[in-house]
Amino acid sequence: MIPRPGTQLRAAQDCCCAPSTGRYGVSLAIAVLALAPYVVVTTAYLLYQEQIMRDLHASRVDLQIIAGIATAGYAFGALLGGDLTNRFRQRSLFLICEALFVIGSLLAALAGGFISYGAGRVLQGLATGLLPVIALPPVVRRFPPERMPLTAAWVNIGFFGAVALGPLLGGLVAGAHVWRWFYAGLSGIGAIVWAVSVATLPDQPATRSGGAHVVDLRRGGHTGGDARRQHLRDLHRAARAAPPSMSSAFGGRCGSRY
């Protein structure tokens, strides 16, 4: 029998999106640990910024500008991440973003002036902004729908726990004057997440959920609509799992009705 045009390509897409029950805890931990450290930084740095001002000969305005640019980098990454997932493999994107976070944390830890410190903070923000639409949808897609309440619970615990943990760590860092070690520790966490991701994350093709259909020229068929709808469902589930502060990372794609 001659297969219908596009049948094999659809079967491959269904295989990639089929739920799996393996390594759920590891996948969820990777996603939360990749996203939470930057939240800790944003709620902790106000408590030790006076030390950074003295050590790096920076003014309060300098640090405010750095914080603003880092937040803008986060917002830009949240917008850019949705487009990149349509063009590149999510595993590769995740590893690149996590590596950028590690580099940014190291730059902040080893900074000799406020410019290098600012570059590190901006890299942290950009990398973390890219991660929500890269890290969360695979956790939703690879596992059965019955896992969604547990996934939503742990993601919210991770984010709001990071918000609560930030001031506590900030006070400890300020009391011991170890803000450089704090950023070095964040880079260490990022390096561990990166290494575990290399060993455990599966390689999946780009989603390609754009409006144009993906044409299978060799078989004369065309696909794209089904894959696009599946991607929208995945983003919608991931947005529901994320806390309200992260909802903007998924943009307007999650508001569609199916």
pLDDT, residue 249, reads 40
Tokens of 198: 């290399």
CA dihedral 154, 157, 162, 163 (to 10 degrees): 140
Annotated domain spans of the chain: 25-255
Residue 238's Cβ-side half-sphere holds a number of Cα atoms within 13 Å equal to: 30
Sign for the pseudo-dihedral over CA of 146, 148, 151, 156: negative
Per run of 10 residues, the mean pLDDT along the chain (length 258 residues) is: 45 40 76 90 92 94 94 91 84 92 96 94 94 80 80 87 93 94 95 90 58 38 51 56 46 39
Non-local (6+) Cβ contacts of 213 within 8 A are 222, 223, 224, 225
CA-based torsion, 140, 256, 84, 228: positive or negative: positive
What pLDDT is attached to residue 204? 61
**Cβ pair 205, 89 in contact under 8 A:** yes
In whole angstroms, give the CA distance from residue 108 to residue 117: 4
- C-beta separation of 56 from 111 below 8 A: yes
What are the backbone angles phi and psi of residue 118, rounded to the nearest 5°? -65, -40
* Torsional class of 226: left (φ above 0), alpha (ψ -120 to 50), beta (otherwise): alpha
Residue 225 is predicted with a pLDDT of 52
> pTM of this prediction?
0.71
Q: What is the pLDDT of residue 173?
A: 95
pLDDT at 148: 83
CATH code 1.20.1250.20 for 25-255: yes
Residue type, 166: G
pLDDT at residue 135 in the model: 82
Q: Dump strand ranges (E) for the chain.
A: 214-216, 221-223
Q: How many other β-carbons are positioned within 10 Å of the β-carbon of residue 118?
A: 22
Residue 54 to residue 159: CA distance in whole angstroms: 31
Q: Please report the pLDDT score of residue 138 as a whole number.
A: 73
